[in-house]
């Protein structure tokens, strides 16, 4: 089994200020864990390429892309930093990082569909699942997974793809972009109420939203996934699975109050891999979203990748 690991040095240069949880050290922690455990030798490494304007327009409006490009290119020229909202801050390197993050997801999709690898993990930042069609928010600028899913459908000719989101926060941006597209099934589980305080009422019939209260533990999450996600995925028979892989539902992560562990992320990945092998030729593209306790993040990504790589 072959697994691509896609990242880029530019993703570490995007900074949102001292003490911000979405920091470059997240990628360093993952890298250190892979090297320390020897898991890195089981992965095929690729440098991320830029997303094209055409790829971005599959998920975002042309007006939004032009606005965010002008803003971020201006910061790159001036060397300034600017807050997009109280939580989302751009620096001179954000434009390059955002293009690489979305581009990695598209690149991963092509690598998998071309048969060069069976699956792929994109260790990128900024994350993407809060970025709506027309708005940057929640640490996100472009919706990496939505861009990739639409690329698979519109450019590569797939008929059905699934998007799976297990971040502790609801993927409101992904839902905003993909709701009502019957070529997509999105299944998610998230703490509610919690930022962005959405998801309790799905926006489309192609959404399977599973909000759970604070302090829900892994065993309960597994039962809900088995009852809610799996029948929907079986009926849908996706030709490819995209994962918004947020690891902030871990019990050690302070940005949420759920109780997952590495073993739960391993179990979720195994269940999704089983669906992918039966319906999608094993094809999975996973993109990093949240996860802010550095050690828990590294361990959880390691558990996720061990399943994907079969080691």
Catalytic residues: 130
73 CB-contact burial (10 Å; exposed 0-12 / middle 13-18 / buried 19+): middle
3-state secondary structure the chain: CCEEEEECCHHHHCCCCCCCCCCCHHHHHHHHHHHHHCHHHHEEEEECCCCCHHHHCCCCCHHHHHHHHHHHHHHHHHCCCEEEECCEEECCCHHHHHHHHHHHHHHHHHHHHCCCCCEEEECCCCCCCCCCCCCCECCECCCHHHHHHHHHHHHCCCCCEEEEECCCCCCHHHHHHHCCCCCEEEEEEEECCCCCCCCCCCCCCCEEEEEECCCCEHHHHHHHHHHHHHHHHHHHCCCCEEEEECCCCECCCCCCCCEECHHHHHHHHHHHHHHHHHHCCCCEEEEECCCCCHHHHHHHHHHHHHHHHCC
Cα–Cα distances in angstroms (integers) from residue 37 to residues 3, 41, 222, 288, 309, in the given order: 16, 10, 27, 20, 14
**Residue matched to tokens 């989101």:** 165
Q: Which of 162, 135, 159 is nearest to 146 (CA)?
A: 162
Q: Is there a contact between 280 and 274 (Cβ–Cβ < 8 Å)?
A: no
Paired sense of beta strands 82-85 and 88-90, if any: antiparallel
């Amino acid at each position: 089994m072959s697994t691509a690991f896609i990242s880029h040095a530019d993703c570490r240069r995007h900074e949102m200020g001292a003490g911000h949880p979405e920091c470059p050290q997240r990628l360093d922690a993952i890298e250190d864990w892979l090297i320390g455990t020897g898991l890195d030798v089981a992965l095929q490494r690729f440098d991320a390429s830029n997303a094209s304007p055409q790829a971005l327009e599959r998920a975002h409006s042309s007006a939004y892309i032009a606005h965010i490009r002008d803003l971020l290119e201006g910061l790159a020229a001036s060397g300034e930093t600017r807050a997009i909202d109280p939580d989302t801050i751009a620096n001179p390197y954000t434009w390059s990082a955002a293009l690489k993050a979305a581009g990695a997801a598209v690149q991963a999709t092509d690598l998998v569909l071309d048969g060069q690898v069976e699956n792929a993990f994109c260790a990128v930042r900024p994350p993407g699942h809060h970025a709506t069609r027309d708005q940057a928010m929640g640490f996100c600028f472009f919706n990496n997974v939505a861009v990739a899913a639409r690329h698979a459908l519109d450019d590569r000719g797939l008929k059905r793809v699934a998007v799976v989101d297990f971040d502790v926060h609801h993927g409101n941006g992904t839902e905003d972009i993909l709701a009502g597209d019957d070529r997509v099934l999105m299944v998610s589980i998230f703490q509610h109420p919690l930022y962005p305080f959405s998801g309790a009422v799905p926006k489309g019939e192609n959404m399977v939203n599973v909000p759970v209260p604070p302090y829900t533990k892994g065993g309960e999450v597994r039962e809900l996934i088995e009852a809610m996600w799996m029948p929907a995925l079986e009926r849908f028979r996706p030709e490819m699975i995209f994962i918004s892989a947020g690891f902030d539902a871990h019990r050690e992560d302070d940005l949420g109050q759920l109780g997952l562990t590495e073993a739960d992320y391993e179990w979720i990945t195994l269940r999704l891999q089983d669906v992918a092998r039966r319906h999608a030729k094993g094809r999975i593209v996973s993109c990093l979203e949240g996860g802010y306790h550095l050690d828990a993040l590294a361990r959880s990504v390691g558990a996720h990748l061990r399943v994907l790589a079969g080691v």
